[in-house]
Amino acid sequence: MDGVPNLTQAPVKPNGEFLYDFVAPDSGTYWYHSHDRSLEQVARGLYGALIVEEKNPPKVDHDIIVFIDDWRLNAQGKQEGDFDNLHDQVHSGRMGNFAKALFRGNNAPIKQNQRIRLRLINVATDRIFPIALTGISGKIVAYDGMPLSTTEPLKKLIISPAQRVDIIADVSSNKEISVLYSEENNIKIGSLAIEGKAKKSKLPIPILEPNKMISPNISQATNLDMVMEGGAMSGKISMQDVNNGKAWMFNGVAGIHKKPFHQFKKNQTAVIDLINDTRFPHAIHLHGHHFQILNKQGELSPWRDTTLVESGESQKIACVFNNPGKWLFHCHMLGHQASGMKTWVKVV
Ligand SMILES: [Cu+2]
């Protein structure tokens, strides 16, 4: 039920249908989107939020989804049709020239001092969003759907495509909550108006109830390397490769092949070194699992399902492959994915 065409199912034909039937074991903020020609279909809006409620949800006055997206618009305000732009694909991907935060909540007026939950989802095809929020005072409570065991201070956020950040906060402003694109100049990409005043909550910002996760035992892990290669200025691709959708590679291989990147036995733990040997950052996303980033001191980060690896950086991710099936493992910059930066793993 993972929806990856030609890996776990055939694409759903025009006027066709497919019944997705699955159990959602983990509470949190997720999203769904087309995985077929996703660089165009996601850009055109074929996505949505998938919220799995906690058994005991935290008490908030407003629970608001914040989609963060960008679009490439022409002078008439229509989307440009150049979704397959190869020049974009070998660089940072297809960036929009218009960005906005879209809110989905219960539309009731938000009052000063009320407690809100914001579920930020970067649904843009390629853009990494540096985000700052004003008008609230609170904590980060989850990343990529997974509750944090200790909340983190609300700071400037770097949200790569597909990543999610959950925030619980109290409204401090009496005017508005702003979402700022926080690079050099703070550009406001969305805001929520404040109307009226409520009584201040004396309760601390809560910790969300944890999902059942298996922590990786690093000493027993299988060690693997995943080297990102290709793209512009790498010297590793030709114009012919680019034209054939082979602009990017993992370990020298572009695109999906019969053989998976690796076949894991159920519950096998692996540490995969994500080595970015390209001139661009990549948002590496693993389907069906969450992983933790292992730092040099041997400490494990909060759970993630997408991690941003900067150019020249390497990041070790630790994962217990406990979910049987075929799972895509790819860059979530959809222009990169479309031009080769994808592979898959098998868990048996
Ligand atoms: Cu990428």
Cα 281 to middle of ligand 1, angstroms: 6
Cα 63 to middle of ligand 1, angstroms: 31
Please, where are the H alpha helices in the chain?
38-41, 86-90, 239-243, 334-338
Torsion of CA 304, 169, 109, 195, to 10 degrees: -140
**What would the pLDDT profile of 298-318 be if each residue is shown by its tens digit?**
999 999 999 999 999 999 999
How sure is the predictor about 185, in pLDDT bands with cuts at 50, 70 and 90? Answer: confident
- Mean pLDDT computed over 115-125: 98
Cα 54 to middle of ligand 1, angstroms: 32
Domain boundaries, the chain: 56-197, 218-347
From 2.40.50.500, 2.60.40.420, 2.40.160.60, 1.10.8.420, which CATH number describes the 218-347 domain? Answer: 2.60.40.420
- How distant, in Å, are the alpha carbons of 77, 242, 245, 253, 331 from that of 85? 19, 11, 11, 21, 17
pLDDT at residue 184, rounded to an integer: 78
How would you classify residue 37: left for phi > 0, otherwise alpha for psi between -120 and 50, otherwise beta?
A: left
Domain 56-197 is in which class? mainly beta
Cα 14 to middle of ligand 1, angstroms: 29
pLDDT at 191 over 90: yes
Supply the DSSP symbol for 214.
P
- Mean pLDDT computed over 5-9: 93
How sure is the predictor about 115, in pLDDT bands with cuts at 50, 70 and 90? Answer: very high
Cα 247 to middle of ligand 1, angstroms: 10
**Domain 218-347 in the same topology as domain 56-197:** yes
pLDDT at residue 77, rounded to an integer: 94
pLDDT at residue 106, rounded to an integer: 85
pLDDT at 107 over 90: no
Cα 58 to middle of ligand 1, angstroms: 35
Cα 127 to middle of ligand 1, angstroms: 10
Whose CA is closest to 133, among 149, 155, 114? 155
pLDDT at residue 246, rounded to an integer: 94
- Mean pLDDT computed over 223-247: 94
**What would the pLDDT profile of 51-71 be if each residue is shown by its tens digit?**
999 999 999 999 999 999 999
pLDDT at residue 236, rounded to an integer: 87
**What is the percent of the chain where pLDDT is above 90?**
96
pLDDT at residue 231, rounded to an integer: 97
Cα 340 to middle of ligand 1, angstroms: 10
Mean pLDDT (the chain, rounded)? 96
pLDDT at residue 66, rounded to an integer: 98
Cα 110 to middle of ligand 1, angstroms: 38
Cα 152 to middle of ligand 1, angstroms: 27
Cα 320 to middle of ligand 1, angstroms: 24
pLDDT at residue 34, rounded to an integer: 96
pLDDT at residue 278, rounded to an integer: 98
Cα 279 to middle of ligand 1, angstroms: 10
Cα 344 to middle of ligand 1, angstroms: 15
How sure is the predictor about 288, in pLDDT bands with cuts at 50, 70 and 90? Answer: very high
- 3-class SS at 170? strand
